[in-house]
A and B are shown apart, each in its own frame.
Chain A
């Protein structure tokens, strides 16, 4: 499972192994302040990162970011 959260502290404290740090609470995989194309690219970067963590070996709760 790849767990996307804007507040990684919470799933980390619950022991979730693969945590992807999303953008913000009200827009996890987006940013309304960006023009549409750049926001789409941000969403893709976060989603791609989340999917990539599924292929990684992880031994303890780890927070991943899009860059």
Chain B
């Protein structure tokens, strides 16, 4: 499988009479994009805003983020979501580098324990470095769903809108030559190099919070996946739960561990592939089943080492730790990426659970640190924080006011995929 990702660097985004890309400036025909999104009758209204790096702006009610991309050969865009589930990962895809589509909405009635959680980014000030979008132009969709829809349908409409907007914005690159092309292929590697797998438990809890693999919720029986599929839209996030450790679609398209392993393939290691499985499995039996199966697959593939990430939290850490335990017992050296619950002062025991085999852990930071960020001039996505987060005292303020919340509420601040340089240091 060979995938070419052709990048078009975008320096700025503005509204204009047509949707076009000229000399690094993406112009968006706002009316056309809104009309396109509203073809979905489940959306009652859609507004598009632009937020640039350095803007005194705060975006709230974030659902998912997507990089504008268009598949120019070798398969459809977002198979299983916008098209039949043909295989992703080969052919050529064009991307707008430096742009992200952020879908936002507040869906009435979605604030109970299975509803939406707040997710915030700041585009200037100290908060700008705690999420992936501080250095890029953000095309913010402010969405309203038709009243009376079931929560699942309403969220699905918002999710589709984000994906469709991403393809819409990349359309001007069709037929053009990218500035740079990266080629991704798992070519032959020296058999003396260690065989490495990326074990990727993606969250799936129920109908509302899940991760889609070709349009179907990820399963606990591990799937052997080519890393190109991850990079090419096979995984779409439907996690609207705790902001700090969501794994958004944008980060799957630009998956940091996949890219890091690819960079070493044939040099220091033999990147054999990805084992896609599940975290937040609700039954212990199924957690054990998944771990044994993953260990078995590793043995069958001759895997000697594995990076194990995760997404979300709570008993998702158990899924990760059990995968670690079974793999280690099967002779696979593991490294885990984990975020921490060390309380606001950093003094609490940071792990929800652990196994003695987890001897190699990379920290992506303490999500309970309280941050204090200044007021902003502009708020996108909504005018009040989401109701379902009443316990977070900082949410009693208006969103434009100085923000004092736990990192927990900041979008992707402690995502365990490891896009960020944030970590905890022991004192």
A and B: direct contact (Cβ < 8 Å)?
Answer: yes
Q: Residues on A close to B: CB < 8 A?
A: 6-10, 13-14, 21, 23-26
Q: Is the CB of B284 within 8 A of A9?
A: yes
The 6 closest A-B CB pairs, nearest first, are A25-B282, A10-B353, A13-B353, A9-B318, A7-B315, A24-B283
Q: Per a CB cutoff under 8 Å, which of A8, A9, A14 touches B321?
A: A9
Count how many pairs of residues, one from A and one from B, have CB atoms less than 8 Å apart in the complex.
33
If over half of B's interface residues share one DSSP class (helix, strand or loop), that class is named, otherwise mixed; here it is loop
Q: Are B282 and A6 in contact (CB under 8 A)?
A: yes
Nearest CB on B from A21, distance (A): 6
Complex: how many Å from CA A24 to CA B283?
Answer: 5
Q: How large is the interface on B (under 10, 10 to 19, 20 to 34, 35 or more residues)?
A: 10 to 19
Q: How far is the CB of A8 from chain B (nearest CB, A)?
A: 6
Q: Which residues of B contact A9 (CB under 8 A)?
A: 284, 287, 318, 321-322, 353, 355
Q: Compute how far the CA of A9 lies from the CA of B288 in the bound complex, rounded to whole angstroms.
A: 10
Tell whether B216 is near chain A: CB-to-CB under 8 Å.
no
Interface residues of B in 316-372 (CB under 8 A from A): 318, 321-322, 352-355
CA distance A7 to B74 in the complex (A): 43
Taking a contact as CB atoms under 8 Å apart, the answer to whether B315 and A25 are in contact is yes
In the bound complex, how far is the Cα of B318 from the Cα of A51, in angstroms?
26
Residue contact A13 to B282, C-beta cutoff 8 Å? no
- Of B282, B321, B322, B352, which contacts A24 at CB under 8 A? B282
Chain B residue at smallest Cβ distance from A9: B318
Contact surface of B with A, Cβ cutoff 8 Å? 282-284, 287, 315, 318, 321-322, 352-355
B354's contact among A7, A13, A23, by CB below 8 Å, is which?
A13
A21 and B287 CA atoms in complex are apart in Å by 13
**A24 to B282 Cα, complex, angstroms:** 6
Residues of B within 8 A of A24 (CB): 282-283
CA of A23 to CA of B75, assembled, Å = 43
Q: Which residue of A lies closest to B314 (CB)?
A: A25
Tell me, rounded to whole Å, the shortest Cβ–Cβ distance linking B37 to chain A.
35
Name B285's closest neighbour in chain A (CB-CB): A21
A-B contact pairs, 27 of them (CB 8 A): A6-B282, A6-B283, A6-B284, A7-B284, A7-B287, A7-B315, A7-B318, A8-B284, A9-B284, A9-B287, A9-B318, A9-B322, A9-B353, A9-B355, A10-B315, A10-B352, A10-B353, A13-B321, A13-B353, A14-B353, A21-B284, A23-B283, A24-B282, A24-B283, A25-B283, A25-B315, A26-B282
List A contacts of B284 (CB < 8 A).
Answer: 6-9, 21
A60–chain B nearest beta-carbon distance, Å:
13
Min Cβ gap B47→A in Å is 37
Closest to A6 in B: B284
Question: Nearest Cβ in chain B — how far from A66, in angstroms?
Answer: 12
The winner among A6, A8, A9 for most chain B CB atoms within 10 A is A9
Closest B residue, CB atoms, query A5: B284
Query: Which residues from B are CB-within-8-Å of A13?
Result: 321, 353-355
* Shortest distance from the beta carbon of A50 to any chain B beta carbon, whole Å: 15
Within 8 Å CB of B353, what residues of A? 7, 9-10, 13-14
